[in-house]
Amino acid sequence: MRWRGGVVVGVSWVRLRDHHLITLGSHTYSNDDRFTVSHSPPFNLPPGKGKEWTLYIKYAQERDSGWYECQLSAHPPMGILANLRVIQAVSEITGRPDLYAQEGSDVTLLCRLRNYTDPPTYVFWYHEDQMINYDADRQISVLSRGGESELRLSQVTKVASGNYTCVPANARPSSVTLHIITADDAPAAMQRAAAPPLHSAYTVALAAGTLVLISL
């Protein structure tokens, strides 16, 4: 909020959803310590010609979305509305949640990120409850670049079966279940594996952070 001219008695930020007074002047009246306010002269105005009040929300969440009003106790009174929209990254798994691969084949799992503001600082891969990014005992490699992370499993054996989870920074994890089929498996298992073979990449779309709109 920027104000030029006139006498201002007080400036407050109000969340209109519940008419909750968040700040008044430089004081915060919310029990949520994610809210702070600052006021300073605008960078493009001469000293003494105006002030700028900025409401900050740390770690913004979807529940913070909605209308906010900056109210000036001036003469005449006035207010400026702002609509905050917090967009949370989403998880999406394309294809089937259960994957089938022949023993001895190569498997590639591709974790794709959507609706992210910045590339994640890390992407961890888990097999069941064990993080496998740096597992030197298996034929595993992880390649992360931008909004993607690729898990490659070479010449898989039965022990590679199980749940695989991709966990990017600041995102909800998503999982798939891998079934390794051996020559001894029943024909019924082969029928369940009628999905396209995993010799090609399997795509996992994942969340990667939250779009945080924190200042006005």
Indicate if the pLDDT at residue 9 is higher than 90.
no
Report the pLDDT averaged over residues 199-216: 32
Taken in order of first residue, the domains within the chain and their CATH numbers are: 2-85 (2.60.40.10), 92-211 (2.60.40.10)
User: Mind listing the pLDDT tens digit for each residue in 136-193?
Assistant: 777 899 999 888 889 999 999 999 999 999 998 877 788 999 999 998 875 655 565 5
Helices (H), the chain: 187-192
User: What tens digit of pLDDT does each residue of 18-48 get?
Assistant: 999 999 988 999 999 999 998 776 555 555 5
| Ramachandran angles phi, psi of 64, nearest 5° | -80, -10
Q: What integer pLDDT is reported at residue 183 of this predicted model?
A: 84
